[in-house]
């Protein structure tokens, strides 16, 4: 999924390895794409078929086909939208990622290491909360993207409705008009089989603002149609003497960061009989008990069940062991901290306001606003500048964002509860008790082999919480936005 206009080749001046220098979220948490592996999958029977509204466009309607220097993009009218998600998501555009004529492997997401020839992304924004895609792009609930794998096979007449004009947009910046058609015909026949996870834009600024739906079944295009993408386009402008082919415009898979991937089906890949993810009510019980209960006594028999099952980055554990008093950076708004009900102390009170509150009972009062990533980046930038720690920007931003992202994703059943997030929640406990719990967590993390969530989500979660599901507060945990912008963003995705 693309955002800013520059070639995506790793050999270019703004190649992927250097993205995070100017766009620190690209080195941050919950990034996309990912390699969807069987051991990450959790069957969720509550995932219903994707519901498309107003996708059948009239041939009288004109759509803009453009070469933006990093992809082929087709504009879509906002009356097209998705229903059945937490919000209404309106369409903005679709675009493609592909390999080259010699290497027809250019999909961004991969399935158990398999890379398809290309991938199509249909980008939608949360029109229930934001006026346009520019407002939504940096919010944690801002975007929903449909990902479609493309393989080389039979000729596809739906794709030819615009690919036959592709030579007219050879150069970066060129545009033309094409007649509307039924966009549904570009998608797989089955809209009930897909993967779902929380992720990011796949190009700078890499905001982790995307609810991803990646369809299980690919669509096919002919070799001629694929070569139209892989050979006819340039990322350079007409006036440039040196021409740069537009090929290989995909990002490599990113780390999982404790995420799981929900699957709407269980027909294969070891999904037979796999228990569904724990319900949001069960998960809120765990969060509530982390804040209000006494887990220290359960350290030997049950605390390890809260730990993530996947391998974590060293920073998530080692830095806490080396400096147990270190507090992760957090969001700056006082409203956010009051809503959370957390007693948080910050490294710099001029940026992070202290508030007081012992319990997490604020869960019942939390509104449904979303974390604003531009605001977070600005606040962290102020902090690292004051402390002459510019080189620590990526790490500081990641530590500021990760616990909230992980907690929100956990409560929505799309990730495990990460150890760093558990400690983030425990900061509201009295010092002596927090230290005891921290020691218990460290012991549990060292002394128990991590288990898949499916092995302990039922009775184990009830045992840890000591409560029934009926006792769970039904309000979701979400984040509070502020309205700063660190720098202008050229929105092309």
Residue numbers annotated as active site: 70
CA–CA separation, 125 vs 253, rounded Å?
Answer: 23
Distance of CA 255 to the CA centre of its chain: 11
450-460 exposure pattern, b = at least 16 Cβ within 10 A, e = fewer: bebbbebbeeb
CA–CA separation, 331 vs 426, rounded Å?
Answer: 17
Q: Are strands 62-67 and 175-179 parallel, antiparallel or unpaired?
A: antiparallel
Q: CA nearest 129: which of 119, 137, 120?
A: 137
CA–CA separation, 151 vs 219, rounded Å?
Answer: 6
Q: Which residues pair with 41 in a beta bridge?
A: 261
The crossing angle, in degrees rounded to 10, of helices 393-411 and 419-426 is 90
Contacts 24+ apart (CB under 8 A), 268-275: 269/38, 269/41, 269/112, 270/38, 270/41, 271/38, 271/41, 271/43, 274/41, 274/42, 274/43, 274/454, 275/43, 275/454, 275/457, 275/458
CA–CA separation, 3 vs 68, rounded Å?
Answer: 10
391 contact partners, CB below 8 Å, separation of at least 6: none
209 contact partners, CB below 8 Å, separation of at least 6: 136, 137, 138, 139, 140, 141, 142, 143, 200, 201, 373
Enter the tokens of residue 35.
């390699």
Q: With beta carbons less than 8 A apart as the criterion, state whether 120 and 96 touch.
A: yes
Enter the tokens of residue 368.
């449904």
CA–CA separation, 405 vs 371, rounded Å?
Answer: 9
Query: Which segments of 216-340 are extended strands (E)?
Result: 219-221, 261-263
Distance of CA 388 to the CA centre of its chain: 30
Q: Please, how many CA atoms are within 13 Å of residue 448, restricted to the half-sphere of its CB?
A: 20
Q: Is 173 left (phi over 0), alpha (psi -120 to 50) or beta?
A: left
Enter the tokens of residue 128.
């229930």
Distance of CA 459 to the CA centre of its chain: 30
């Amino acid at each position: 999924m693309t955002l800013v206009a520059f070639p995506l080749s790793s050999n270019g001046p703004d190649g992927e390895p250097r993205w995070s220098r100017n766009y620190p979220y690209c080195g941050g948490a919950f990034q996309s794409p990912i390699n969807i592996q069987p051991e990450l999958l959790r069957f969720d029977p509550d995932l219903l078929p994707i519901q498309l509204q107003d996708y059948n466009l009239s041939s009288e309607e004109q759509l803009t086909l453009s070469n933006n220097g990093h992809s082929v993009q087709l504009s879509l009218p906002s009356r097209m939208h998705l229903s059945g998600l937490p919000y209404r998501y309106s369409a903005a555009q679709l675009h493609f990622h592909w390999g080259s004529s010699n290497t027809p492997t250019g999909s961004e997401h991969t399935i158990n290491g398999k890379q398809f020839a290309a991938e199509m992304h249909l980008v939608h924004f949360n029109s229930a909360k934001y006026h346009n895609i520019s407002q939504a792009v940096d919010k944690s609930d801002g975007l929903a993207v449909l990902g479609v794998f493309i393989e080389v096979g039979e000729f596809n007449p739906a794709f030819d409705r615009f690919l036959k004009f592709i030579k007219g947009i050879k150069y970066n910046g060129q545009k033309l008009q094409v007649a509307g058609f039924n966009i549904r015909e570009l998608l797989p026949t089955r809209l009930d089989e897909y993967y779902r996870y929380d992720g990011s834009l796949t190009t700078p600024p890499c905001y982790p603002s995307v609810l991803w739906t990646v369809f299980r079944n690919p669509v096919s295009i002919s070799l001629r149609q694929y070569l139209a993408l892989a050979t006819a386009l340039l990322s350079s402008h007409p006036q440039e003497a040196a021409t740069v082919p537009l090929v290989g415009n995909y990002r490599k898979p990113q780390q999982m960061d404790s995420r799981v991937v929900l699957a709407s089906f269980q027909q294969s890949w070891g999904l037979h009989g796999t228990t569904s993810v724990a319900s949001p009510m069960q998960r809120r019980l765990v969060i509530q008990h982390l804040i209000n209960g006494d887990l220290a006594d359960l350290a030997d028999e049950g605390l390890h069940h809260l730990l993530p099952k996947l391998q974590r980055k060293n920073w998530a554990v080692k830095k806490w062991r080396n400096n147990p008093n270190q507090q992760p950076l957090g969001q700056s708004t006082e409203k956010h901290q009051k809503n959370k009900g957390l007693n948080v102390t910050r490294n710099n009170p001029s940026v992070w306001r202290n508030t007081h509150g012992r319990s997490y009972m604020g869960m019942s009062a939390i509104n449904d606003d979303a974390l604003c990533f531009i605001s977070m980046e600005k606040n962290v930038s102020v902090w690292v500048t004051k402390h002459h720690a510019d080189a620590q920007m990526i790490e500081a931003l990641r530590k500021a964002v990760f616990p909230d992202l992980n907690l929100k994703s956990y409560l929505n059943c799309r990730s495990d509860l990460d150890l760093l997030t558990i400690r983030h929640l425990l900061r509201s406990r009295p010092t002596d008790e927090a230290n005891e719990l921290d020691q218990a967590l460290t012991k549990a993390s060292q002394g128990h082999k991590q288990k898949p969530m499916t092995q302990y989500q039922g009775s184990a979660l009830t045992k840890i919480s000591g409560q029934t599901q009926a006792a769970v507060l039904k309000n979701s945990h979400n984040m509070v936005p502020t309205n700063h912008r660190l720098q202008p963003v050229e929105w092309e995705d």
